[in-house]
């Protein structure tokens, strides 16, 4: 197995820029407790294209649950929670839910997390979406990332109402709170239920 510097020495100079571009995602790739689900694909891609084998190092890291994080930085909760943790999104959300059940004022107004199948697969991520819906959230859009908004916060916070009014779906261009929460996964675009029905997608429906 070779380091990135060793790989650069092993390939032609005129391919260095292309290699640096191809390896960018792999360099930023991280996961906790197991190999990243796309690591094998990307390392094989680099092997095929450049005839080099890239080494992915392991390292020990310090981790916190959501309560410990709020204790450390002395905050009760957050209005906007965005998670992109390469496979740990559902674990973090589970920790967040446990904290917020004990501290109802801590529920985020808006949650966004990655739904690319990295957090235990698409079924696990869909179960988390369902769980958040039972916690009082409504799905705004779902694709490579899923965005949910607190129904309680939406009722009395004008900036959230404006956010919904400005949200536009990629295919039909519908916008506004009347579309909520009728959104679905449809490739790389967020779509309302009418577009989805037209496209005959097999995605999940959220009527909460």
Please provide the DSSP assignment of 138-155 as one string.
EEEEESSEEEEEEHHHHH
Q: Which pLDDT value is given to residue 182? A: 44
And the tokens for 74?
A: 């002395």
Q: For 144-203, what is each residue's pLDDT tens digit?
A: 888 899 999 999 999 998 888 777 766 667 666 545 444 444 444 555 656 655 654 444
Question: Between the CA of residue 145 and those of 45, 113, 158, 173, what are the distances in Å?
Answer: 25, 6, 24, 19
Dihedral angle of Cα 19, 56, 40, 28, to the nearest 10 degrees = -60
Q: Is the separation of the CB atoms in 125 and 115 below 8 Å?
A: yes
Q: Which pLDDT value is given to residue 126? A: 87
Q: What is the average pLDDT across 51-74?
A: 86
Q: Which pLDDT value is given to residue 208? A: 34
Give dist(CA 113, CA 91) in Å, integer: 11
The domain spans of the chain are: 4-50, 66-199
């Amino acid at each position: 197995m070779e380091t990135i510097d060793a790989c650069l020495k092993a390939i032609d100079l005129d391919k260095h820029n292309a290699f640096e571009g191809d390896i960018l995602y792999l360099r930023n790739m991280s996961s906790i407790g197991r190999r990243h689900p796309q690591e094998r694909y990307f390392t094989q891609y680099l092997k095929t294209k450049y005839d080099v084998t890239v080494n992915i190092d392991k390292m020990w890291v310090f981790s916190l649950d959501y309560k410990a994080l709020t204790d450390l930085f002395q905050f009760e909760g957050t209005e906007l929670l965005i998670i992109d943790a390469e496979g740990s999104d559902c674990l973090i959300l589970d920790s967040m839910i446990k904290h917020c059940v004990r501290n109802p004022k801590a529920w985020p107004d808006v949650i966004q997390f990655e739904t690319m199948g990295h957090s235990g697969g698409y079924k696990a991520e869909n179960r988390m979406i369902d769980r958040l819906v039972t916690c009082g959230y409504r799905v705004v859009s779902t694709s490579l990332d899923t965005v949910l908004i607190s129904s309680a916060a939406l009722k009395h916070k004008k900036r959230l109402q404006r956010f919904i009014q400005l949200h536009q779906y990629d295919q039909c261009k519908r916008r506004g709170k009347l579309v909520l929460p009728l959104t679905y996964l449809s490739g790389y675009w967020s779509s309302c239920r009418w577009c989805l029905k037209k496209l005959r997608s097999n995605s999940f429906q959220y009527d909460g």
